[in-house]
Structure 1
Amino acid sequence: MANPIRVGLIGAGYIADWHAEALAATPGVTISAVCDLNESAAKASAIPHGARVFTTLAALIDAQLCDAVHILTPPNAHEEIATECLTAGIHVLVEKPVCESGDAAAGMLASAEQGGARFHAGHNFLGLPSYERMKAAMTAGDYGRISSAEITWALPLAPLRSGPYNLWLLREPKNLVLELGPHLVAFAHDLFGPVEVLHAEASKPVMLPGDDPRPQTIRVLARAGHVDVTFTMAMVETVDDRSVTLRGSSARARLDFAQDVLVVERENAADLVANPLRKQLELTWQHRREGWKNALVQARSLNTQNPYGRSFRGMNRAIYGAIADRTPVDARFSGESAVAVMRTLDAVLDALPAEVLAVKAPAVRSRDPKPTAMVIGGTGFIGRALTRRLVVDGRDVRVLSRGRHGPFPDLPDQVETVTASLYDLDALTEAMQGIDVVFNLAKSMDKTWADALVNDVGVTTRIAMASEQAGVKRLVYTGTIASYDMSDPGVTITEDTGFPADMSDRNIYARSKAECERQLMKLHAERGLPVVIARPGIVVGPGGPLQHWGIGRWHGAGAVRIWGHGNNILPFVLIDDVADGLVRMIDAPVTGQSFNLIGEPMLSARGYFNEIHKALGAKIRVVPGNLHAFYASDAVKYGLKKYALRRPGVIRPSLADWKSRAHFSPFDNRRPKTALGWQPETDRPAFVDKAIARANLFGF
């Protein structure tokens, strides 16, 4: 048996999990290395596959452990990393966009030829089984002569409206085209050949912090041979429509590539009465066939092969099959295809009006900030509002972020963004020098309790230790009301309501945040840590998401299954009121105390959606969620994950945990009013106006 192809992952972020799972299922391939500047992230990706961990590209190349690598870093780093690997003779697959221009893609292809290695573009949706069927049918003439095609990516892009704003994706308007465009253009190029851009326009701009506009809809008219092509990228809150529609003389074919569903509409030769009936029956049969097919795939794979995952598997089979067989690169994923796609995107950017792509110059710094407050998690929803409130109050702020790009370009004199690893005590201590108050809003969404102990509890404790060493006068920690047992409507929750002693049957987030609080209060009792704890409710208002999972389980922007019946009053609170409460904790004599920042009783879940309908004219489909059914379904998933898939650290939340998501227990918010002088919004019309009417929930 031939030796397996050894593959390394460069970049251990969100997308790395998809690549790793697909590689693990690809015959003749093994994951040999993971490289990331964040060693803990690299370890988390490497350990399940027995791979070596690296923190520098040079060390990975020198180790000679990889025949190929997948480059999964932010796109601005793709070209440099790919060039080094290709020159060293290592095959590369580069996540889309492969780079930031056609010239850069051409340079990468030249490096591949020079190094004798293969350069592949990560156009994963071309590996979908349904797309392969569509292309084969079109090529065989089953759809007749194709006259036009519509290729659409209509999917809400939440960061445009609620952050985080420090992503590469949002740094420049052109990055939105570079991020989404490759999916669409790759389809057109693979189906029809070279694409000529005729016109491009943008609409529905949204303002990022600092009044920096980004378009949320981009339309492109193009031509490929005799086929008229329309590309649409829509990022507002909309029904998910990621599709390729081909109009031919014999049929209209529509591929839903998000769902791996292909449906073909044809004429039939029946008489005028039976013709429309037969046409609709045939479409019905196709939809049922596609639905059952996908359901069976999911059932057989225990929900490990969704359409997105299958697209990566199809791409990997084509790429590594060709490498193993020493056959030419599959044209769908070739370097030549990468260059063609990027050249087309260059033309799209050239066709867009200059004002659409203009980057607003950041305000000029006239003085260096002198921060006395630090916000950890300052790029998040609450963190952004808090930082701006601190500035309004006359404080300069140091924001701890993963990168230098923060959401405060209009505040260069008052806000500085610094980087420091949350796992490095010395770096954290240094970053806190000169700081009087630290707000810790960081959170970690972990899948196992072991990971939560490291990434949430360990980090929280380390921040507390650093604040002690730096002489910080006040540490404000944000916990969560989710740590309470809120399953009983007859129990009113106050700050004196304790968390259960044993929280092993709670969801990891609720359990982890409660343990963080316990460790902080232990440090307060034993060493005098000047900590105050805040637990915000369901936070709403400008900058927050429409699809808030504190209210229910969302199925796109148009449908939500609420937790429970949805008639009980929810613990909503306005974002500005949360920021006000946090600021009041700086100087109040409340060390060692905790406060539930819950607004006045206003709306139930159903009431909230009714107000959205009245204020914005959008009727969202609201379905009650049977919590016993949620619990039973979760029990089945737990059994499959633990015993069939043998995943370590799987937990099963209790029925009380599921009921707590409905927030059945009411809250008493008198303590923050009395101790802090906090006054949340009391007027219902004003609350609705701030929480809904002026919150830009739909993006336009």
Structure 2
Amino acid sequence: MPAKKITLIGAGNIARTHASVLQSIPGVSLHGVFDVSQGAAEAMASQFKIPVVHDSLEAAAMSASDVFHVLTPPNLHLMSAMPFVEAGKTVLIEKPVGATAAECQAFAAAAQRSGAVIGVNQNLAFNPAYLKLRNMVLSGNIGQPKYMSYIFEAPLRQLSARQFSHWMFREPGNILLEQAVHPLSQIVDLAGPVQELNALAERPIEISPGVGLHNACQVSMICERMPVSLRFHVGANFTVCRMTVVCDDGVAIADMTSNQFHVLERSAYMEPIDNYISSRKAARQWAGEGFAGLRDYALSMIKLKPRSDAFYLGMKGSIEAFYADLASTGKPRIDLAFGSHLVDVCAKIAQGFKSLPQTDAPAVAASPPSGALVAVLGGTGFIGAYTVEALLRLGYRVRVMARGAANLQEVFYRAGVEIVRGDVKSPSDVKAAVAGVAFAINLAHGGGGGNFEAIRAAMVDTASLVADACVAAGVKRLVHVGSISGLYLGDAAAKVTGSTPTDPMPHTRNDYAHAKALADATVLSRHQSGGMEVVVLRPGLVIGAGTSPFHGGLGFFNNDQYCVGWNAGSNPLPWVLVDDCATAIVAALEARDAAGKAYNLVGDVRPDARSYVAALARSLGRPLKFVPSSPTGLWLIELGKWFIKRVAGQKVNRPFLRDILSRGLRSQFDCSDAKRDLHWSPVADPAEFQRRAIAVHGKR
């Protein structure tokens, strides 16, 4: 039988996981890919040797492919999948299958007319630990199930990064469709369809004026086979994803985060002995599975075993089950009806969400600002919000360009602020953003990538694009906001000023630092050629209300309780308060002596890493710990990882001790040039710094 031909609709990160899994499944082959970004589709086709890149959904639907994986954002599922459903194709749609019940009904009606087969990729329903629990409960070996408890406490990167334009924050129920469908998929799979539910939601957090995020709730459910209690909380500090099923003759527990499963059972002995035997058996199970996870990770690193993390195994299990079901019955077990039921359950839970309390409308300025128009690219982020506030305070009008314009902070809705959607990688978007402005501020970093070339293209090429657009538009001055990371900061005896050149050995640095140094040089070259006045600002470790206090300049965080320092943690660190940073950015627009220069923005209060973490622990009331380390030791660990990856055939850059030393930030900053030329006066009072940098994150 010829292999089934597969076309991927969407070429983002999740599509790469699907492609990787599909390459390991016999009887299927990657045939085509489509994405609205032709470049993204072509890059993916090159990476996975996909022969056909389609230029439209219609062209993909008319292709020779047998199955279509729809991997676009949830709000685009209906538009992306419907051409294939109406054509009677077999379709696998990423969770959630639809954004509303109406979309699910539209899929059902179209599939009934065309005969299309629709599956839903609910990867957590195939988590290995969950499957062990499921098999144990269904086997009857611990009696009949009586009750299920589920705790889902998870961090949320987009929440901590304040990326509130993401789809999951646009409507109250979207957070459930994006996140709660994970535990709900396991609940419905094992306990059966939800027949009744009662949701008790916690008070929402305000993410934008009048817009609340309901990130925590408790849900009591009566399901077909047992009652269920679900604790749902995203944005948590400690990750817990644990299902407990109480049966007549034992308790089954699955921990999806650590991918571990164990059972509590009785023995034939009296209770004290029985407790000891049961505890010892459970401990052996936990220890054995913990060791297996560590072993599999190590083996996969050196390519002696396929990738074996819980997320990937869940994705692999889901996609493999989809094709196995097609081969055996022609219909997937996790189908449209299953996915639609989850959407319906999410809608019912959302009915229990509370409204934000009414607050007084913000005061409106007596008259809108009438000063010069300033374009701020990438202006809706952390530093951007403070910069816009500072611009308005001085009477400037502001045009902010950002990729997402939903759920913004209050300052962006004030008179004098114009929001335009745009991507810093798009020449036409940048051209429109800077047209007719007197000054421009570039806060957009351009994104990242998997290798230096991708990061260089994201940071350096976009910085060049913005500078060229400003020159063409006749912008008087461009303020480019970079980072001190482009400097070498590992020499404790060195005094660093604005005139200190970027690292003369960039090849010894990480890709981000290397690209930052190149971006600064690229922008300054526009001033040197006489095309436009340019000022480069390099903020230090920016801190304040509105960002995470767990700054990467302290060290690296395997979790936010333990900071592993880049060194012993006793040297002063180059902190700068975000509002001080914004003040300097605005001052640089018209400072007479600043044109053509670079300045470092570091405040006068510079606690070391140990002191900062200790103060933060007191403020948060949490047992945070700073773990000192040896830069040489860290480098040897990185060197060992690099060696293993190279042996396994991966192309990765060799780590340098010099890079680790620079991350320790031991050099001394002298910012007298910024204070003089920009008339800049950062906070010098340690108590005030403590209040605005640390206490602002305190217990709430």
TM range (shorter): over 0.9
> Which residue does the alignment assign to 1:692?
694
From the superposition, tell whether residues 439 and 61 of structure 1 become closer, same or farther in structure 2 (CA, over 3 Å). Answer: farther
2:348 aligns with 347
Alignment partner, residue 60 of structure 1: 60
Residue 612 of structure 2 corresponds to 608
Give the 3 Å change call, closer, same or farther, for CA 490–447 of structure 1 in structure 2: same
In structure 2, the partner of 1:494 is 497
- Which residue of structure 1 lines up, in the alignment, with residue 565 of structure 2? 562
- Give the corresponding residue for 2:677: 675
Describe the shift of the 1:19–1:545 C-alpha distance in structure 2 as closer, same or farther (beyond 3 A). Answer: farther
Alpha-carbon offset, residue 517 of structure 1: 1.1
| Structure 1 residue 3, shift from structure 2 partner | 3.2
Q: What is the SS of the residue equivalent to 2:230?
A: strand
Tell me the alpha carbon deviations over residues 359-386 of structure 1, each in whole angstroms, 9 at most, x when there is no partner. 9999999999988111211222212222
Q: SS at the partner of 1:93?
A: strand
Alignment match, 2:331: 329
TM-score by length of 1: 0.92
Preserved contact between residue 619 and residue 694 of structure 2 (Cα < 8 Å):
yes
Aligned to 1:285: 284
Report the CA distance between 1:316 and its aligned residue. 1.1
Q: Return closer, same or farther for 1:405/1:32 CA change in 2, 3 Å cut-off.
A: farther
CA distance in 2, matches of 1:369, 1:36: 42
Contact 1:399 1:418 in 2 (8 A): yes
Match of 1:513 in 2: 516
Structure 2 counterpart of 1:615, which letter? S
Deviation at 1:657, TM superposition (A): 0.4
Return the offset for 1:55.
Answer: 5.3
Aligned to 1:598: 602
Other structure's SS at 1:476 match: strand
Q: Measure the CA separation in 1 of the matches of 2:378 and 2:157.
A: 18
Q: Which residue of 2 aligns with 1:215?
A: 214
Deviation at 1:204, TM superposition (A): 4.6
What amino acid sits opposite 2:166 in the alignment? L
Q: Which deviates more, 603-612 or 559-568? A: 559-568
2:431 aligned residue = 429
Amino acid corresponding to residue 373 of structure 1 in structure 2? V
- 1:519-668 correspondence to structure 2 within 5 Å: 519-589=522-592, 590-647=594-651, 650-668=652-670
- The equivalent position to 1:483 in structure 2, one of 475, 483, 486, is 486
**Identical-pair percentage:** 28
1:376-411: CA deviation from partner (whole Å, max 9, x where unpaired): 112222122222322233223222222443614661
> What is the aligned partner in structure 2 of residue 457 from structure 1?
460
Q: How many residues align?
A: 691
Cα deviation, 1:404-460, whole Å, max 9, x if unaligned, reads 436146615332222334343344223311112221112222221221232221111
SS in 2 for 1:264: strand
SS at match of 1:527: coil
2:58 partner letter: A
CA displacement, residues 290-341 of structure 1 (integer Å, 9 cap, x when unaligned): 1121122222222833111111111111112333x2523332x211211221
Q: Which moved more, 1:217-226 or 1:33-42?
A: 33-42
- Residues of 1 paired with 2:433 and 2:301: CA distance? 46
Residues 615 and 259 (structure 1), Cα distance of their counterparts in 2 relative to 1, 3 Å cut: same
| Change over 3 Å in CA distance of 1:28–1:397 after alignment to 2 | farther
**Aligned amino acid, residue 639 of structure 1:** F
Written as runs of structure 1 = structure 2, the 5 A alignment for 1:143-542 is 143-210=142-209, 212-225=211-224, 227-302=226-301, 304-323=307-326, 325=327, 327-331=329-333, 333-353=334-354, 355=355, 372-405=373-406, 407-408=408-409, 411=413, 413-443=415-445, 444-542=447-545
> Would the alpha carbon gap of residues 170 and 364 (structure 1) be closer, same or farther in structure 2, given more than 3 Å must change?
farther
Q: Amino acid of the residue matched to residue 454 of structure 1?
A: A
What is the root-mean-square deviation of aligned Cα atoms in Å? 2.8
Matches within 5 A, 1:114-125: 114-125=113-124
Aligned partner of 1:476: which letter?
V
Distance 2:399 2:56 in 1: 28
Give the whole-Å Cα distance in 1 for the aligned partners of 2:501 and 2:281. 60
Give the distance between the partners of 1:352 and 1:182, measured in 2 at CA.
Answer: 17
Partner in structure 2 of residue 78 of structure 1: 77
C-alpha distance 637-9 of structure 1, shift in aligned 2 (>3 A): farther
Post-superposition offset of 1:161: 4.7
Q: Secondary structure, in 3 states, of the residue corresponding to 1:119? A: strand
Alpha carbons 1:161, 1:208 under 8 Å: kept: no
Letter in 1 for 2:589: I
Q: Residues 234, 261 of structure 1: CA spacing in aligned structure 2 closer, same or farther, 3 A cutoff?
A: same
CA-CA distance at 1:571 after TM superposition? 1.2
SS at match of 1:221: strand
**For 2:453 and 2:195, how far apart are their aligned partners in 1?**
53
Q: 1:568 Cα shift?
A: 1.6
Q: Distance in 2 between matches of 1:359 and 1:244?
A: 39
Gap change, CA 1:258 and 1:20, over 3 Å in 2: farther
* Unmatched 5+ stretches in structure 2: none
Distance, in Å, in 2 between the alignment partners of 1:68 and 1:550 is: 47
- For residues 676 and 697 of structure 2, the distance between their equivalents in structure 1, rounded to whole angstroms, comes to 29
Q: For 2:99 and 2:363, locate their aligned partners in 1 and report how far apart those are by CA, in whole Å.
A: 26
